[in-house]
């Protein structure tokens, strides 16, 4: 029988699209052991073009592949108009790719995404990007033996073969750095941080949750300025940033979110670290908000032993002054005092030598690798 491609249109079909992943990961013991099911309600919002702010400047099409009435794979195609305006190219994106180990099915899904993107006037496709570079991206190529941390992706090894055999090439490589807090010389790191603080006339403070909105404005301003020259970066709109901030607010530990200020009180840098709640989400099967799911989530949340540093940002004019050491020292000190002895710094472009050097200085090891593929269409 031939492969049938269907366009996802209804809310019910969107949920089917999301739930297909269970068929891939639950049947393989190794995958099932490490995979963390996505929170279904979160994915429903992310794929809702009426609710998710990204779609004010982006278009989305979702496709499923079927044979003999059985769903065999999923893919989403995304046209991000802001990306193309900023980078002056005609690149489309694909993401939310899940597929059985069948090249013909994968080819049909990639072709469906490519044809839709091509109809939008685009000449290349890049992915996985689900659904933007400010969300989840990258195909795992190394590090299958441990679960992903919060907001990072996991996939079977054969997905990479499906991509390469379908004509995709490696566009960018990403790294996730594992940091064993016990291996860090916190005393030395703290001395360096104190030296930088004194030399530059800086102060560091925790996030003030009572003034959440104004604090978020500071982060947004620095984030967009600090990352503007990074590969593929698209500044987040106010609505996008506010949406993300509100979704992460319940998870935020203000003692893990830091601001660095100059002698005039101007905020010049920040660091955002969150607990790895995947350690708890792994046990709730994508439904942490059901009564039983919430009980299990709260139970396992007590024993979270790892955190993830999602991003650091320093205003361009203050770079190369050691400000990152201030934030890393604070993270290490607080984590060590509260039983969080492991962290992941992710993701980092493999080509970003400065960030890799920083990760190595604090004892980091690149233990997971990801790829963003590209293909002309």
- DSSP bridge pairs for 342: 180, 306
Residue 41 has pLDDT above 90, yes or no: yes
**Domain 179-367 grouped into CATH 2.60.40.10:** no
- Say how far apart CA 85 and CA 240 lie, in whole Å: 17
**CA-atom Rg of the chain in angstroms:** 21
pTM of the model as a whole: 0.94
pLDDT tens for each residue of 249-267:
998 889 899 999 999 999 9
Predicted pLDDT at 354: 82
Q: What is the DSSP string of 110-150?
A: HHHHHHHHHHTT--EEEE-EES-TTSEE-EEEE-TTSPPPT
Assigned CATH for 4-176? 3.40.630.30
Residue 177 has pLDDT above 90, yes or no: yes
Q: Give the residue range(s) of CATH 3.40.630.30 domains in the chain.
A: 4-176, 179-367
pLDDT tens for each residue of 266-295:
999 999 999 999 999 999 999 999 999 999
Predicted pLDDT at 362: 81
Predicted pLDDT at 325: 86
pLDDT tens for each residue of 333-366:
888 777 777 899 999 999 988 888 888 888 889 9
Q: What share of the chain is helix, strand, coil (3-state, %, to 5)?
A: 40, 30, 30
Predicted pLDDT at 361: 80
């Amino acid at each position: 029988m031939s492969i049938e491609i269907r366009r996802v249109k209804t809310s019910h079909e969107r949920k089917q699209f999301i739930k297909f992943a269970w068929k891939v990961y639950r049947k393989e013991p190794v995958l099932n052991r490490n995979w963390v099911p996505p929170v279904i309600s979160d994915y429903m919002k992310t794929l809702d073009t009426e609710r998710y702010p990204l779609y004010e400047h982006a278009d989305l099409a979702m496709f499923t592949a079927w044979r003999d009435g059985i769903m065999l794979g999923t893919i989403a195609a995304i046209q991000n108009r802001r990306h193309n305006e900023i980078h002056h190219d005609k690149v489309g994106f694909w993401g939310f790719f899940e597929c059985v180990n069948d090249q013909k099915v994968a080819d049909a899904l990639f072709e469906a995404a490519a044809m839709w993107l091509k109809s939008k006037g685009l000449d290349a496709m890049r992915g996985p990007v689900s659904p933007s570079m400010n969300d989840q991206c990258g195909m795992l190529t190394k590090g299958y033996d441990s679960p992903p941390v919060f907001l990072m992706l996991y996939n079977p090894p054969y997905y990479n073969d499906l991509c390469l055999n379908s004509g995709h090439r490696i566009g960018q490589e990403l790294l996730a750095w594992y940091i064993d807090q016990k291996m860090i010389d916190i005393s030395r790191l703290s001395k360096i941080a104190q030296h930088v603080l004194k030399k530059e006339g800086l102060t560091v403070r925790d996030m003030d949750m009572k003034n959440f909105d104004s604090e978020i404005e500071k982060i947004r301003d620095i984030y967009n300025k600090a990352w503007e020259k990074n590969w593929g970066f698209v500044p987040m709109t106010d609505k996008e940033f506010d949406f993300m901030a509100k979704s992460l607010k319940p998870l935020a530990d203000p003692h893990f979110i830091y601001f660095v200020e100059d002698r005039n009180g101007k905020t010049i840098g920040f660091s955002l670290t969150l607990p790895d709640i995947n350690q708890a989400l792994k046990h709730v099967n994508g439904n942490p908000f059901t009564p039983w799911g919430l009980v299990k989530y709260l139970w396992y949340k007590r024993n979270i032993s790892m955190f993830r540093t999602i991003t650091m940002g320093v205003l361009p004019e203050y770079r190369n002054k050691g400000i990152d050491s201030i934030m890393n020292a604070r993270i290490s000190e607080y984590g060590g005092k509260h039983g969080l002895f492991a962290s992941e710094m992710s993701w980092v472009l493999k080509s970003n030598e400065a960030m890799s050097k920083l990760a190595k200085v604090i004892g980091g090891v690149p233990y997971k690798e990801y790829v963003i593929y590209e293909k002309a269409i």
